[in-house]
Amino acid sequence: MTSTRLPSFSRMLRLSRPNREDAIAFAILSGLAVLVFRTAEGVVAPLSSLDLEPVTLDPAHLPYYALRTVLRMFAALFASTVFTLVVATLAARSRHAGRLIVPALDILQSVPILGFLTFTVTFFMNLFPGSVLGVELASVFAIFTSQAWNMAFSFYQSLRSVPDDLEEVCHGFGLSPLRRFLRLDLPYATPALVWNAMMSMSGGWFFVVASEAITVGNTTATLPGIGSYLALAIQQQDFRAVGWAVGAMAVVILAYDQLFFRPIVAWADRFRFEQTAGADAPRSWFHGLLRRTRLLPVVLAPLGALGRLVLTLEPRPRRSGAARVRQPGPWAERAWQLGVWLGVAVALGWTGHYLLSWLTMADLTQALGDALITMLRVIVLIALASLVWVPLGVMIGLRPRLAERVQPVAQFLAAFPANVLFPFAVIAIVRFDLAPDVWLSPLMILGTQWYILFNVIAGASAIPNDLREAAGMFGVKGWQWWRQVALPGVFPYYVTGALTASGGSWNASIVAEVVTWGDHHLRAHGLGAYIADATTAGNYRQVALGIAVMSLFVLGFNRLVWRPLYAFGERRLRLS
């Protein structure tokens, strides 16, 4: 027996002998690790260091600021991924949990980022008093709120559209919930989740400016980062510094696209649901480099062994006849529904009593009127963005090589902070005497239209090649191809993107309906301007009223429009 093991062991040593790819990968990964640890030193510094080393417009500091911002954004992305895998899975696999989680996500995505900062900054700073870490966690949480809802909706939509034959296979093999999640749910939803993670990462740049300047009472803690650098440049009307910040953003986005997202896109292509091989698989030089290494599989082997150990220790599933979950009785179901409605009624009653005891009917009427104006803007902007990005997204998603070239450009455009364009909008509106109610509206969609594009690209990429080949074989072309192949294939993904884009547009209205550059102040009528004016005046009850009205409008629109479209896609347009 010894003679049979020694050759195997020597062969393993020979196969794991380091090669040139190992040396290159080690240099890249160790360099990234050094940068991360160097940047993390500032995270645990005393809070007084922010005053001793304030943010300046010296371009020499931009590389360090960029590293601090990227570290926050990836920390928020990691938290968003964990949140998505847990919460979206519960919402999709549990009917009772879904009835609570989905409306909660609708409300949370409509709450402005300033609303989260108002209640969370003090909490995080009290966790780590006198340390920058508390402010960093508050900033990471603010970025998290700009990333998590889109990813959760995407994962939820993917789990709700799993093909029926795969569902039947899982039931036939009697897979446990954990094994079903690892073998079916997670692989099936991975391609769309990766694209939405890229979109969420890019969308987080829109809120970096607000998240890196934390205010508590009369104290403002400005964290070093590209967002705070850009805010200072806009405040001082320094176009040159704005250009430096945008250039640094472009370099950072290109770097993490090549080293992180593009390898993940190439890796996730293996999970596409299809019965024929893909014609053009996405490529990544870094992914290919990692696959050719010999030491990396050995280093990662313990993680795989740990995963197999967890599955081994899992209790064996019972036979399908005994494994059926006992359905609750009708009285238990009615009691649960009654409890939910009572909780909603109590929450609404408490909120209404709090607001109406301090506000007048005129305040409520003004908030509702402004909300109708903002809703009209959102509907028009989403319709126009859909007409532009759905055809382009389908064209890009069906051509992986084209998607490779467009991906970094789309990420940069999605990450481009819309507030950088605010000065130019103000100058143009003042110069040509334009109506702010009309020409400030496009600023609401600048940072959110990309949710539609990225989701449509993900949907087009997920259309099985066998379906496309069958359409070509039967001569399906022109409008018939769009009506019977492309639009049904991307429709569930489009609904996810449009839902998130509409919620983000409501959120962006707070900064887009009131724009300032130097001595020029422009204001458009709408709920965003109402909340912005109340925040500036320090009227927190009007701020609470504006946020409550915005949440009700977003939730009502989702219930009346987007949720029925979700149900239509699950019922009529799923692969089965």
The pLDDT value recorded for residue 87 is 94
Write the CB contacts of 193 (distance below 8 Å, at least 6 apart in sequence): 84, 151, 154, 155, 158
Q: Which of 145-149, 333-337, 462-466, 556-560 has the lowest mean pLDDT?
A: 333-337
Residues paired with 520 in a beta bridge: 517
**Between residues 283 and 366, the one the model is more confident about:** 366
Residue 323 confidence (pLDDT) above 50: no
Residue 419 confidence (pLDDT) above 80: no
Per-residue confidence band for 357, with pLDDT thresholds at 50, 70 and 90: confident
Per-residue confidence band for 389, with pLDDT thresholds at 50, 70 and 90: very high
Residue 9 confidence (pLDDT) above 70: no
Q: Which of 136-150, 205-219, 428-442 has the lowest mean pLDDT?
A: 205-219
The pLDDT value recorded for residue 84 is 95
- Mean pLDDT, range 139-151, rounded to an integer: 87
Per-residue confidence band for 355, with pLDDT thresholds at 50, 70 and 90: low
Q: What whole-number distance in Å separates Cα of residue 501 and Cα of residue 451?
A: 6
Q: Give which of 146, 73, 136, 89 is closest to 114, Cα–Cα.
A: 146
The pLDDT value recorded for residue 476 is 83
The pLDDT value recorded for residue 69 is 92
Residue 346 confidence (pLDDT) above 70: yes
The pLDDT value recorded for residue 315 is 63
The pLDDT value recorded for residue 293 is 86
The pLDDT value recorded for residue 6 is 44
CA 135 to chain centre: 22
Per-residue confidence band for 65, with pLDDT thresholds at 50, 70 and 90: very high
The pLDDT value recorded for residue 321 is 44
Q: Which of 302-316, 323-337, 382-396, 540-554 has the lowest mean pLDDT?
A: 323-337
The pLDDT value recorded for residue 471 is 84
pLDDT in tens, 267-283: 888 887 665 555 566 77
- Mean pLDDT, range 147-174, rounded to an integer: 85
Q: Of 214-218, 380-384, 486-490, 544-548, where does the model show the most confidence?
A: 380-384
- Percent with pLDDT over 70 in the chain: 84
The pLDDT value recorded for residue 377 is 93
The pLDDT value recorded for residue 418 is 66
β-strands 514-517, 219-222 pairing: unpaired
- Mean pLDDT, range 244-257, rounded to an integer: 87
CB-count burial class (<10 Å; 0-12, 13-18, 19+) for 487: middle
- Mean pLDDT, range 486-490, rounded to an integer: 87
Q: What whole-number distance in Å separates Cα of residue 349 and Cα of residue 249?
A: 46
- Mean pLDDT, range 336-357, rounded to an integer: 72
Per-residue confidence band for 461, with pLDDT thresholds at 50, 70 and 90: confident
Average pLDDT, the chain: 80
Q: What whole-number distance in Å separates Cα of residue 256 and Cα of residue 415?
A: 13
- Mean pLDDT, range 77-103, rounded to an integer: 89
Dihedral angle of Cα 228, 234, 239, 245, to the nearest 10 degrees: 20
Q: Give which of 182, 543, 217, 533 is closest to 358, Cα–Cα.
A: 543
Per-residue confidence band for 376, with pLDDT thresholds at 50, 70 and 90: very high
Q: Work out the angle between the directed axes of helices 295-313 and 20-40 (0-180°, nearest 10).
A: 70
- Mean pLDDT, range 69-97, rounded to an integer: 91
pLDDT in tens, 100-140: 888 788 777 767 666 666 667 778 878 888 788 888 888 89
Per-residue confidence band for 539, with pLDDT thresholds at 50, 70 and 90: confident
Residue 1 confidence (pLDDT) above 70: no
Per-residue confidence band for 333, with pLDDT thresholds at 50, 70 and 90: low
pLDDT in tens, 431-448: 888 888 888 888 888 777
Q: Which of 158-172, 208-222, 443-457, 480-494 has the lowest mean pLDDT?
A: 208-222
- For the record, the structure tokens of 183 come out as 């073998």
**Between residues 380 and 180, the one the model is more confident about:** 380
The pLDDT value recorded for residue 447 is 72
- Tell me the residue length of the chain: 576
CA 466 to chain centre: 30
